[in-house]
Amino acid sequence: MQFHIVTLFPAMFTALDTGLLARARRQGLIGVYPHDLRQYGLGNYHQVDDTPYGGGSGMVMRPEPIGAALDAVITMSPGLTRILLTPQGELLDQATVRELAAQSPGLLMIAGRYEGFDERVRELVDREISIGDYVLSGGELAAMVVIEAVARLIPGVLGNPASLAEESFAADTLEYPQYTRPEEFRGMRVPEILLSGDHGKIKRWRESEARKRTARRRPDLAVGRRFPT
Ligand code: 6GU
Q: Which pLDDT belongs to residue 171? A: 65
C-beta of 136 in contact with ligand 1 (< 6 A): yes
Tens digit of pLDDT at every position of the chain (229 positions): 999 999 999 999 999 999 999 999 999 999 999 999 999 999 999 999 999 999 999 999 999 999 999 999 999 999 999 999 999 999 999 999 999 999 999 999 999 987 899 999 999 999 999 999 999 999 999 999 999 999 999 999 998 777 787 776 556 789 999 999 999 999 999 999 999 999 999 999 999 999 999 999 999 986 545 443 3
- Ligand 1 centroid to Cα of residue 138, in Å, is 7
Alpha-carbon distances of 28 from 22, 80, 92, 151, 220, rounded to whole Å: 10, 18, 26, 12, 38
Q: Which pLDDT belongs to residue 226? A: 46
Q: Which pLDDT belongs to residue 172? A: 77
Q: Which pLDDT belongs to residue 167? A: 74
**Residue spans of alpha helices (H) in the chain:** 19-26, 63-76, 94-101, 140-151, 161-169, 199-217
Q: Are 41 and 47 in contact (CB under 8 A)?
A: yes
Name the residue of 86, 133, 140 whose CB sits within 8 Å of the most ligand 1 atoms, as the mutation to test its pocket.
86
- Ligand 1 centroid to Cα of residue 182, in Å, is 41
C-beta of 87 in contact with ligand 1 (< 6 A): yes
Q: Which pLDDT belongs to residue 170? A: 54
